[in-house]
Amino acid sequence: MKLPGRLVLVALMFPIMGGWASLQAQNVPAPDGVTQTPSVVEKPNPLKRRLSDRERFQQQKDLKAELHGVYKTWLEQDVRWLITDTEAQAFKHLSNDEERDSFIENFWQRRNPSPDSPDNEFRDEVYARIAYANEHFAAGKPGWMTDRGHIYIAYGKPDDIDSHPSGGQYQRPMEEGGGSTATFPFETWHYRYLEGIGDNIDLEFVDTCQCGDYHYTIDRSEKDALKHVPGAGLTQSEESGQSEKKDRFSGGGLEELGKGPFSQQNQSKQFDRLDLSAKIMAPPPIKFQDLMQFMATSKILTGPPFLFDVRTDYVKVTNDTVIVPITIQIKNSDITFNTKDGVSVGKVEIQGRISNMTHKIVQSFGNNLQVDTPSELLTAKQKAASVYWASLALRPGLYKVDVVIKDVNNPDHIGRWTRSLNVPKFDDDILGHSSLILADEMYRVPSKEIGAGSFVIGDTHVRPRVSTGGAAIPPKFSRAQNLNFWMQVYNLGIDEKSKQNDATIHYEITNLTTNKPVLNTQESTTKLSPNAEQLTLEKSLPLASLQPGQYQLSIKVNDVVSNHQTEETAKFSVD
């Protein structure tokens, strides 16, 4: 049989190549007289070759088989409404359980409001939400799988719920066309603010099957049980003959509310409703992680510095607990504003944390500060400043406070502030006092707001006037303003016989230019609160009579019963 020439040539060369390889292996002279060093022949790496479609399909099948038990449950149930697509894909491509455990730990850590704390508040809150959803929203399927469960797990408890569990008679608001109808069971959840979504968010859930499975809808007419019943459940426009019920289904819009005084307005907001739906169904954003990096790594700022001022105060609660209000002031002229539809909006992300001497984070705080104004008033608005306030409960001791802010409309515009924080200890047997706060706003709050809300200390709204340019520069007031000041006095002595205190409080305002007092007055604690060991001083003085200049307020307390004295001063300027 005659072989092809190529095969004959290969066959003839094979013994020669085999002998040549043998010579190389023995390191003996080659036929040409040159000694050769043995070398390693590289073989192709089968792991780097391109996979066929069949092999790729089998690999994906094997990967899915590996995601079993707790890892499958974690991905498809525990974090289903929280995990981003990128994170989910990364998790699916991990090769072993050790990598998956590490991924899960990092997943929760990225969302931990206190990264150095052994407890993860966010993780604990999520599992508490899942338990609540399963208990309250189950409807032929676990509560976490329902739309209400989804929103509750992702965003927490709404600030308000308008619930109609039986449906029935319903008087439509004019925004929905007015008139009376009957509805399926429905609920409207209201959130005052959702990070990354906006303010005053209303979400509507309707149970059209009347089986307890409320689904999220952007069509407010979906709850109308008489929508497809001729002549029933008419809107105000339909009742008056200005439109017909069939007109509801001919517009082609998202909602079938019918014609009415708000029809044009509803149509213009259709894209807003679609945008809200897309945002609310997406995983919640990971809050302020870029700002946390600046605090954790001392990262060098690359853009122009974003300057701001910070004031800290101290208010006693108990011997072991002190309220530390932190007030952050930002000049509006330093904020980047975007103008749309005649409204200029600036937004600043604020993130802060408190750490102890061992660098352990003990508390963190943060939120968005939004400034908006009609565009024609922007110039005037930029001459003012905006203030953010956080109230922290800390034990007496030495801490470090880090604050980072970011201009949302100019992401490279970032500012950082770091200082030590010495929280004082208030002893029971020593006359003491809180910080002396000079405020540009001060008034009593309603009973439901006592102890809660921004700038609220006890039952009083106290917004501190923050110095611009550092603590060494006194805060400024105008002559048209009042000088409001607030201070608490602790551990007043009580006479054993009369069961009353007896102390004199001396107020003095001194002109620092002339060094002469412009106010000198005093009052007795027996006329303010005779039986109290603790006293709150709240005063408001008009500044119209003062000439522009530098002043100092001094408050001295002389306790006759305990024979103790204490004094606090604060400087301010008048323009």
Q: Are residues 566 and 438 in the same domain?
A: yes
Q: Are residues 497 and 544 in the same domain?
A: yes
Q: Are residues 229 and 342 in the same domain?
A: no
377 neighbors 343 (Cβ within 8 angstroms): no
Tokens representing 44? Answer: 């192709």
β-sheet bridge partners, residue 164: 186
Q: Are residues 221 and 342 in the same domain?
A: no
β-sheet bridge partners, residue 202: 190
Q: Which of 313, 293, 344 is nearest to 487 (CA)?
A: 313
Written as tens digits, the pLDDT of the chain (575 aa) is: 444 443 333 333 334 344 433 333 334 444 444 444 444 455 555 555 666 767 666 666 555 555 667 898 999 999 999 998 888 888 888 888 888 888 888 888 878 776 656 678 889 999 999 999 999 999 999 999 999 999 999 999 999 999 999 999 999 998 888 999 999 999 999 998 887 788 889 999 999 999 999 999 999 999 999 999 998 999 988 888 888 888 888 877 788 887 777 777 777 677 888 889 999 999 887 765 556 556 555 555 566 789 999 999 999 998 889 999 999 999 999 999 999 989 999 999 998 888 888 777 788 888 889 999 999 999 999 999 999 999 998 999 999 999 999 999 988 888 989 899 999 999 888 999 999 999 999 999 988 777 777 899 989 999 999 998 877 789 999 999 999 999 999 999 999 999 999 999 999 999 999 999 999 999 999 999 999 999 999 999 999 999 999 999 999 999 999 999 999 999 999 99
Residue 568 placed within a domain? yes
Q: Are residues 195 and 244 in the same domain?
A: yes
341 neighbors 322 (Cβ within 8 angstroms): no
337 neighbors 408 (Cβ within 8 angstroms): no
526 neighbors 502 (Cβ within 8 angstroms): yes
Q: Are residues 441 and 575 in the same domain?
A: yes
Residue 421 placed within a domain? yes
- N-to-C CA span, the chain: 115
Domain range for 26 is 1-36
Classify 103 as helix, strand or coil: helix
Neighbours of 36 (CB within 10 A): 15
The sheet that has 516-524: what strands, in order across it? 476-477, 564-574, 549-559, 503-511, 516-524
Residue 44 placed within a domain? no
Q: Are residues 461 and 570 in the same domain?
A: yes
Classify 70 as helix, strand or coil: helix
Q: Are residues 317 and 420 in the same domain?
A: yes
Residue 170 placed within a domain? yes
Answer with the one of 378, 398, 426 that is the final residue of a domain.
426
Cβ burial, residue 173 (10 Å; 0-12/13-18/19+): exposed
Task: Tell me how far apart the alpha carbons of residues 22 and 446 are, in angstroms, rounded to a whole number.
Answer: 98
Residue 125 placed within a domain? no
Task: Tell me how far apart the alpha carbons of residues 321 and 425 are, in angstroms, rounded to a whole number.
Answer: 9
103 neighbors 95 (Cβ within 8 angstroms): no
How many distinct structural domains can be found in the chain?
Answer: 5
CATH number for 552: 2.60.40.2550
Residue 124 placed within a domain? no
Q: Are residues 405 and 543 in the same domain?
A: no
Task: Tell me how far apart the alpha carbons of residues 565 and 322 are, in angstroms, rounded to a whole number.
Answer: 22
Which residue, chain included where needed, has tokens 């009369």? 498
Residue 138 placed within a domain? no
Q: Are residues 220 and 304 in the same domain?
A: no
Q: Are residues 86 and 194 in the same domain?
A: no
CATH number for 422: 2.60.40.10
Tokens representing 346? Answer: 């600036």
Residue 142 placed within a domain? no
Tokens representing 573? Answer: 């300027």
Q: Which of 449, 476, 445 is nearest to 461 (CA)?
A: 445
Q: What is the pTM of this model?
A: 0.55
Q: What are phi and psi of 49, to 5 degrees?
A: -75, 155
Q: Are residues 418 and 444 in the same domain?
A: no
